[in-house]
Structure 1
């Protein structure tokens, strides 16, 4: 969807976290050569169930960066034409075995029951899409910032976290600095 088209209906205005906050033990694993294959398997599943929905699918997050230690959770980005038209994509994802975890403005998150795959759904053209891809592509090409990001994650994970969202928020400052360098490297 181009940003000029009107969505079918208004988007949600608050965060709905299905199941509430979850305590989860988070551990980093060294990069696993199996992660790309796991991504491709889920990409195929998503494209099969959304064959009529004109979606794009990308591997994002730390498991998409060769050589980077990560939580063993495959993050997948699915871009749809209209985030408010959940009937176009959500039913298919649920039928494929994913569970709805988060519904928030401009974003939906479904995941496997084992919590080892997170599927982030955004509207095509959403600025968050560019941000995910900017960070992924830069970390794939810059060993120094890749090492900084890994050190930051290891330091943060040495603390206890009651909710994975709090851990993610704690990385924000470093991620913003890395993305600023990525923009400079791209001449943006």
Structure 2
């Protein structure tokens, strides 16, 4: 049995959940981060999503990365590597029960993966018809493949590819 696929209608509390995580990150990262971005489906008003906040911490370049790893370590985050996606360093955590479940990534400001995340988010934020289409596909995929994350991801892939094509990003 695979990982459960749970897709929910947009919840306005996700914005506040991101802000709570951002505050905690900002306190420890101080001037190491250029910005802390809410990305992924929970960052788009009206978009159905898995209830997990995606966050990109944007840094100047790799020269500050070790300091970022050290700072995040002080509040319970451990570096996991790029998990097969160059330009995006993943972090896992323990002891964050007071925060909504989230995925934390650190990206250099010129990272192609960061640019993809921001372009995708910004496109959806300004195209309600794309939000509607993508929400429908995600909800359908979750119904069709409630226990198979890989099949769910495969099912929604054509819509993602269509959006990437519209915004001029190679997938």
Match runs of 1:69-148 below 5 Å? 69-83=48-62, 85-104=64-83, 105-113=86-94, 116-148=101-133
Q: Deviations over 1:116-170 (max 9, x none)?
A: 11112111111221211111111112121111111221222221445x4664455
**Aligned equivalent of 2:20:** 41
Judge conservation of contact 2:9–2:49 (CA < 8 Å) in 1: yes
Distance 1:79 1:149 in 2: 26
Normalising by the residue count of structure 1, what TM-score does the alignment of the two structures yield?
Answer: 0.74
Structure having the larger proportion of residues in helix:
2
User: Across the two proteins, how many residue pairs are aligned to each other?
Assistant: 162
Distance verdict in 2 for CA 1:149–1:45, change over 3 Å = same
Contact 1:111 1:117 in 2 (8 A): no
Q: Deviations over 1:78-133 (max 9, x none)?
A: 11123475422112223223344443432211244468111121111112212111
Equivalent residue, structure 2, for 1:7: none
Is there any run of 5+ residues in structure 1 with no aligned partner, and where? 1-21, 184-188
How many angstroms apart in 2 are the aligned matches of 1:88 and 1:172? 35
On the 8 A contact 2:57/2:107 being kept in 1, the answer is yes
Q: Distance in 2 between matches of 1:132 and 1:53?
A: 20
Residue correspondence of structure 1 range 47-62 to structure 2 within 5 A: 47-62=26-41
| TM-score w.r.t. length of structure 2 | 0.80
Query: Could you say what the CA RMSD is over the residues aligned between the two structures, in angstroms?
Result: 2.6
Distance in 2 (CA, whole Å) between partners of 1:107 and 1:161 is 27
